[in-house]
Amino acid sequence: MIIIEEMSENKHWYAVYTHSRAEKKVLTEIEFQGIEAYLPLQRKLRQWSDRKKWVEMPLIPGYLFVLIDRKEYDNVLKTPGVVAYVRFEGKAAIIPDNQIELIQRMLSETSLQVEVSHEVFEKGDPIMVASGPLIGIKGTLISFKGKKKVAVQLDQLNLSLVVEIQLSEIEKITG
């Protein structure tokens, strides 16, 4: 008996690469097709020669998340501005719901300043957030730009989210 692995008809989150600076346009195109999509945006103060202005910038430049089933998979790829699916071990990476929720929760906290790093963190103590809005999140304690921050690694995306958290809000995981 041969078992052929197929994508489940259930909807899953996937990350897609977009053309440079096309994330918002691709989001509009995807949503126009009736597909649920998520573009994590963060307000940043941008400096021009004549003024400063608060703008919403993609948290992860070049990435957009789509919630799709098998029937919508190819339609997403045909969308203008979509380059490809983010792949993990040769297949389109399914992003767990809890990682999308984590990003949404972090961005909903106005006191958190989130940075994205493509560095994969291997050194440092494993920690868990013991209090505050990110309670229960596990990550790695690192020293970043002279401040203590927690890196929450999202393996499927091959990047890390770095969040500044008070040392009193974390505890070391032992064993």
Query: Do residue 51 and residue 122 come from a single domain?
Result: no
Q: What's the whole-number average pLDDT of the chain?
A: 82
- DSSP label at 39? -
Query: Do residue 157 and residue 130 come from a single domain?
Result: yes
Query: Do residue 71 and residue 25 come from a single domain?
Result: yes
List C-alpha distances in Å: 64 to 15, 24, 49, 75: 6, 9, 30, 15
Under a CB-based contact definition with an 8 Å cutoff, are residues 81 and 29 in contact?
Answer: yes
Distance CA 149, CA 151 (A): 7
Check residues 159 and 93 and name the one with the higher pLDDT.
93
Query: Do residue 124 and residue 161 come from a single domain?
Result: yes
- 107 Cβ neighbours under 8 A, 6+ residues apart: 40, 41, 42, 59, 114
Average pLDDT over residues 101-120: 77
Under a CB-based contact definition with an 8 Å cutoff, are residues 101 and 38 in contact?
Answer: no
Indicate the number of domains in the chain: 2
List C-alpha distances in Å: 159 to 18, 34, 69, 102, 167: 16, 29, 25, 14, 23
Ranking 4-8, 77-81, 136-140, 169-173 by mean pLDDT, the lowest is 4-8
CA atoms within 13 A on the CB side of 7: 17
For position 136, which CATH number holds? 2.30.30
pLDDT in tens, 12-69: 999 999 999 999 999 999 999 999 999 999 888 888 889 989 889 999 999 999 999 9
Ranking 14-23, 66-75, 83-92, 108-117 by mean pLDDT, the lowest is 108-117
Check residues 155 and 56 and name the one with the higher pLDDT.
56
For position 24, which CATH number holds? 3.30.70.940
- The whole model's pTM is what? 0.74
User: 76 is in which domain, residue-wise?
Assistant: 12-95
Query: Do residue 79 and residue 143 come from a single domain?
Result: no
Check residues 74 and 43 and name the one with the higher pLDDT.
74
pLDDT at 46: 83
Average pLDDT over residues 69-92: 94
Query: Beta-strand (E) ranges in 59-174?
Result: 63-68, 82-85, 87-88, 91-92, 94-95, 114-117, 126-129, 138-144, 147-154, 159-164, 170-172
Distance CA 112, CA 110 (A): 6
pLDDT at 107: 86
pLDDT in tens, 3-22: 334 444 599 999 999 999 99
Query: Do residue 38 and residue 88 come from a single domain?
Result: yes
